[in-house]
């Protein structure tokens, strides 16, 4: 059984293929991350899955409903946290939840019974009757998340849920999302924060140019695609050092921005050589274990995305 199954999904705009043959499945109870640079096709994939735009080809089954034909029915069991806040600015916190519940055809009494619990979840009990404009960015996000839970959905879509939030607010959202996972909800989130993906997701797909280029658990992706150790070298002398010494001692050296990333299964020799230059100010370095960001950079390359 799956909560979502996508096969060979394609969508073009003006001859440019934004989603170019995407396949994946969501198992009930898992948190699945869709990772990719801006313009990779993540948001379009979500819109297709929700039936808000027509695919050129491919098939989508969302909670046993065929999409787009039965997208509306499928959405009764889905919650959505969009990338851009679209809380209703004309309403208070409580009214936002009340009105959103009506869109699901819920009776007033049922919604009103559910509201205290959702307010508590969002940490907004004391703000129930304030207007949206006075809330901080983190509060708004939490309310958007609570609003997406009004119908007690089986599956939640979160489009970059922590973009634009400060670290405290971000950690709070992560904690709330983990609560949902404990309650058995299935989560699909898009992000370009590696830390977020690594912390929350059971499985990940890295997406670029409308395609999924790698899929697996975070640990699996790292061990399968990247040497276990990394030495980041930066400073004016870094590039010369990498070209002359680094490239001989590492399996592979890559430049991203102004930093040289030297990947090795054993970075001992690299670190030993760099230690000789400790007195120099034009070379500095950081030795660490490989992480998801290294996988991401390997697959999505180095060009700047807008």
Partner 1 sequence: MPSYKHGFSLRFIHVWRRNLLVWRKLAIPSVLGNLADPLLYMVGLGYGLGSMLPQMQGVSYVAFLAGGVVCSSTMNTATFEAMYSAFSRMHVQRTWDAIINAPLTLDDVVLGELVWAASKSLLSGCAVLLVAAALGLVGSMMALLIIPVILLTGLVFAGLGLIMTAISPSYDFFMYYFTLAVTPMMLLCGVFFPLEQLPGVAQAAAQVLPLSHAVALSRPLMNGVAPDHAWLHVLVLALYAGVSYGIARRLLKKRILK
Q: Which residues bind partner 1 (CB under 8 A)?
A: 13, 50, 52-54, 68-69, 72-73, 75-76, 80, 82, 84-91, 95, 99-100, 102-105, 151
Q: How open is the CA angle 150-154-157, to the nearest 5 degrees?
A: 80
Which of residues 68 and 218 has its CB atom nearest to partner 1 in the complex?
A: 68
Question: 16-26 and 186-191 as β-strands: parallel, antiparallel, unpaired?
Answer: unpaired
Nearest-angstrom CA–CA distance, 56 and 207: 19
Which of residues 44 and 300 has its CB atom nearest to partner 1 in the complex?
A: 44
Residues 287, 249 contacting (CB under 8 angstroms) = no
Residues 215, 236 contacting (CB under 8 angstroms) = no
Question: 4-13 and 155-159 as β-strands: parallel, antiparallel, unpaired?
Answer: unpaired
CB of 182 to partner 1, least distance (A): 24
Which of residues 52 and 128 has its CB atom nearest to partner 1 in the complex?
A: 52
Chain length of the chain: 306
CB of 143 to partner 1, least distance (A): 12
Beta bridge partners of 131: 92
If you search the block for the tokens 């851009």, which residue do you land on?
84
Burial of 73 (0-12, 13-18, 19+ CB in 10 A): middle
Which of residues 50 and 295 has its CB atom nearest to partner 1 in the complex?
A: 50
CB of 87 to partner 1, least distance (A): 8
Which of residues 61 and 151 has its CB atom nearest to partner 1 in the complex?
A: 151
CB of 117 to partner 1, least distance (A): 19
CB of 124 to partner 1, least distance (A): 18
């Amino acid at each position: 059984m799956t909560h979502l199954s996508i096969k060979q999904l394609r969508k073009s705009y003006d001859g440019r293929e934004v989603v170019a043959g995407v396949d994946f499945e969501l198992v009930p109870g898992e948190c699945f991350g869709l990772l990719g640079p801006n313009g990779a096709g993540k948001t379009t994939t979500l819109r297709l899955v929700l039936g808000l735009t027509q695919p050129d080809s491919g098939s989508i089954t969302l909670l046993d409903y065929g999409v787009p034909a039965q997208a509306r029915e499928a959405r009764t069991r889905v919650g959505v946290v969009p990338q851009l806040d679209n809380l209703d600015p004309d309403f208070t916190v409580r009214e936002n939840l009340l009105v959103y519940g009506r869109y699901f055809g819920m009776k007033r009494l049922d919604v009103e019974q559910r509201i205290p619990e959702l307010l508590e979840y969002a940490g907004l009990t004391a703000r129930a009757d304030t207007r949206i404009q006075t809330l901080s960015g983190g509060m708004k996000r939490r309310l958007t998340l609570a609003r997406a839970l009004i119908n007690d959905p089986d599956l939640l879509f979160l489009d970059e849920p922590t973009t634009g939030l400060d670290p405290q607010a971000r950690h709070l959202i992560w904690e709330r999302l983990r609560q949902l996972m404990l309650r058995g909800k299935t989560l699909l989130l898009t992000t370009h924060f590696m830390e977020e993906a690594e912390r929350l997701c059971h499985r990940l797909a890295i997406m670029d140019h409308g395609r999924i280029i790698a899929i697996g658990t975070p640990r699996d992706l790292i061990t399968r695609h990247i040497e276990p150790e990394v030495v980041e070298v930066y400073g004016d002398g870094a590039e010369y050092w990498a070209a002359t010494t680094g490239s001989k001692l590492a399996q592979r050296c890559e430049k991203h921005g102004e930093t040289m990333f030297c990947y090795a299964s054993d970075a001992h020799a690299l670190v030993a050589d760099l230690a000789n230059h400790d007195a120099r100010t034009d070379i500095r370095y950081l030795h660490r274990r490989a992480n998801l960001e290294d996988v991401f950079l390997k697959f999505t390359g180095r060009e700047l995305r807008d």
